[in-house]
Each structure stands twice: as C-alpha cells, then as structure tokens.
Amino acid sequence: MSRILVVEDEAAIAELVSINLRHAGHEVTLAETADQAQAAVDHALPDLVLLDWMLPGRSGLSLAKHWRADPRTRALPVIMLTARAEEADRVAGLDAGADDYLSKPFSPSELMARIRAVLRRKAPEALDDAVEVAGLRLDPATRRVTFGGREVKVGPTEFRLLHFFMTHPERVHSRAQLLDRVWGDHVFIEERTVDVHVKRLREALAPVNCAAMIETSRGAGYRLTQHVRAESE
Ligand code: CA
C-alpha cells in the first residue's frame, strides 16, 4: 500500500525489515548508503523512510538534516533506526527532523505500529483508513467511492488522486507536489498529466454533484474543498 525506503547497511537487518514490510503489503526499496538513499528519493518520493543512523560514509543523521532543509523532502516522514539508545542521541535524532526513533533490536510489531502512527500523522493517503469529506466517502480497503450511498465510478489514478486530496483537504497542491505524492515521480511525467486526471476526476464526481469540490487555484495547482463556491468552475 505505501512505498517505504529502507536505508540500512546491515544486510541481515535490511532483509528482516523488508520481509516484514512486504508481508504487511508495503512496497520496499532498499538503500545501503546515504548516497543510494538520496538517489532513490531523487527518483521517486517514498511515503516513509526507515533511516539507519550509522551508515558507511555520510550518516543517516546528516541525511535527515539535509532532507529537512530541502522543500521537496521537508515533510518526508522519517523514522530513525539505530543501535544507539542514549537520551542525547535520541534528542539529536529528533532535532535532525526524524518523526520517530526506534532502537535496535526492535520487534516487527513495534516497527509496524510506529510506521502506522507516523503515516497517520504525516501521510494518511498511504494508509487504508476510510476517509469522508462533506458526504463524499472513499474506502481504500474496498476501493469504493460513495456519496450518500451512491457509488461513484472512479479510475485507479483518479482514485489515488482523490484519496490524496481527501486526506489533505483545503490545501493547495502544485502539480509537481501531486506528481511526487500521487504518482511518486516528479521528473519523468509531464505536469500536464495532472490536469488530464483532474479533469477525469471532476467528470467522475459530476453525477453526484461533487465536481466543484476540486478547485483550480490559478498558477498554483489544485485543492479539494468542502466549502464549494457558488460560482465555482
Ligand atoms: Ca548501520
């Protein structure tokens, strides 16, 4: 369901973690160094990063700080994995911008619980929780969209786009941000693609009079609002 980047140089831990994540339905990308992790993030923004502190070369801590300073990765959910458990280290990790901190050894169930908690707070579109805005309901588990009990037929890309909009209502998202967060790719897909799918999404929502919930913010991007303007396009 969610795309998780695991940055860990110890092969045994990387394998154990990725087996558990894949078993839980996540899509896993592995990186052994900070440079590999940066390359993976440059290619496609993951929903969450499990970042080992001690890596050969550049440390995970330094990488987390770098991501927090870059607008594209500022909000990227990061859980630091580390053998260190000292209070000072914990504080340094959180100061560097980690959303949570897990000391090795940890149990798979604790890892999953922490991942869910961070995603719920920062990337709810990566979870299977049903979401409702102004009567429009989307359920990722059943892949159904309904309004007042009426089913709304939505294509797979429009479904993901609507899910992202509904979990981040009222905020304007640029086309580049939508490509990053919905398509997972901001480089190889044209921004015009977003316009095409927004148009299709509005068409899908029209039969239940919800098309106007998807607003165009001129020069800025798109947003979903529950406060539909009377003169809305
Ligand atoms: Ca390590």
Average pLDDT over residues 190-197: 94
* Residue 25 CA, ligand 1 centroid: distance in Å: 25
Please, which residues have CB within 8 angstroms of residue 112's CB and are 6 or more apart in sequence? 20, 24
- CA nearest to 147, candidates 157, 158, 160, 134: 134
Report the 10 Å Cβ neighbour count for 109.
9
Domain 131-224 has CATH 1.10.10.10: yes
Domain 3-124 has CATH 3.30.420.40: no
Predicted confidence (pLDDT) at residue 233 exceeds the cutoff of 60: no
* Residue 178 CA, ligand 1 centroid: distance in Å: 33
* Residue 112 CA, ligand 1 centroid: distance in Å: 20
Please, which residues have CB within 8 angstroms of residue 232's CB and are 6 or more apart in sequence? 212, 215
Predicted confidence (pLDDT) at residue 219 exceeds the cutoff of 90: no
Task: Output the pLDDT for position 230.
Answer: 57
Task: Output the pLDDT for position 63.
Answer: 96
Domain with CATH 3.40.50.2300 in the chain: 3-124
Predicted confidence (pLDDT) at residue 231 exceeds the cutoff of 70: no
* Residue 45 CA, ligand 1 centroid: distance in Å: 22
Average pLDDT over residues 50-58: 93
Task: Output the pLDDT for position 116.
Answer: 94
* Residue 130 CA, ligand 1 centroid: distance in Å: 37
Domain with CATH 1.10.10.10 in the chain: 131-224
DSSP H helices in 146-191 = 156-167, 175-178
Predicted confidence (pLDDT) at residue 26 exceeds the cutoff of 60: yes
Between 214 and 101, name the one with better pLDDT.
214
Task: Output the pLDDT for position 105.
Answer: 86
Mean pLDDT (the chain, rounded): 91
pLDDT tens-digit map of 109-156: 999 999 999 999 999 988 889 999 999 999 999 999 999 989 999 999
Between 184 and 231, name the one with better pLDDT.
184
pLDDT tens-digit map of 4-24: 999 999 999 999 999 999 999
